[in-house]
Chain A
Amino acid sequence: QKEVEQDPGPLSVPEGAIVSLNCTYSNSAFQYFMWYRQYSRKGPELLMYTYSSGNKEDGRFTAQVDKSSKYISLFIRDSQPSDSATYLCAMFTGAGSYQLTFGKGTKLSVIP
């Protein structure tokens, strides 16, 4: 079993839809969780950063972490064509290790 599982998609939704992106993980030591957005032929950029369980909201984006289920989610409300990108989840333990473990990324297309 891979440490981090993420459905690669592709996922195609109409403009204005609510998008749900998810990752599952196996290492219960992970404490810090991130979502990166990567536009085509560009480097990833940090979108959301959360510590431990709970929710974090930033504009149209909400990150959720459920450590008991080892499951993290990113919700995008009122999706826009400019949200079309690949979304990568990433996580690390923080216990002396700052190496991130990445999911494979989900490719999202928002259709006008």
Chain B
Amino acid sequence: DGGITQSPKYLFRKEGQNVTLSCEQNLNHDAMYWYRQDPGQGLRLIYYSQIVNDFQKGDIAEGYSVSREKKESFPLTVTSAQKNPTAFYLCASSHGTGGTGELFFGEGSRLTVL
């Protein structure tokens, strides 16, 4: 089955700790994205990558970091610098340039800071 796999589904973190959220896709998509979703805020773009070894900041990149060493993988690290990290995190992918623009989403990872 083609799709996007996010892990872990639920994660608890103590203040001051970095955590890494995994995102893997087997859709052969060029572009990958990380969004944060808070109640009443909709989806906010954290980082996106249109090609391996390249990524761009989105609207709320502060306190987050990413890497794109492989086409299939786009992990997100939530650092201790992120002031309010408790949220629902969504990874997505798309064909990128030349595609329809449709985003395919994973099931999400819910991070709670204790």
Q: Which residues of A contact B (CB under 8 A)?
A: 6, 8, 32, 34, 41-46, 49, 88, 90, 92, 94, 96, 98-100, 102-105
Contact = CB atoms under 8 A, between A and B. Distances in A.
A interface: dominant SS: loop
A32 B101 contact: yes
Given A45-B105, A90-B103, 19 more contacts: A41-B88, A43-B6, A43-B90, A43-B105, A44-B90, A44-B103, A44-B105, A49-B102, A88-B43, A92-B101, A98-B31, A98-B94, A99-B48, A100-B103, A102-B42, A103-B42, A104-B40, A104-B41, A104-B42
Nearest to B38: A104
Nearest to B96: A98
Contacts of A34: 101-102
14 contacts: A34-B101, A34-B102, A43-B90, A43-B105, A44-B90, A46-B102, A46-B104, A49-B100, A88-B43, A98-B94, A98-B96, A98-B99, A99-B48, A104-B42
Nearest to B4: A43
A41 B108 CA distance: 8
Contacts of A88: 42-43
Contacts of A8: 40
B110 A41 contact: yes
Nearest to B50: A98
Complex A-B, nearest 9 residue pairs according to Cβ-Cβ distance, in ascending order: A43-B105, A104-B42, A102-B43, A98-B101, A44-B105, A43-B107, A102-B42, A43-B108, A92-B101
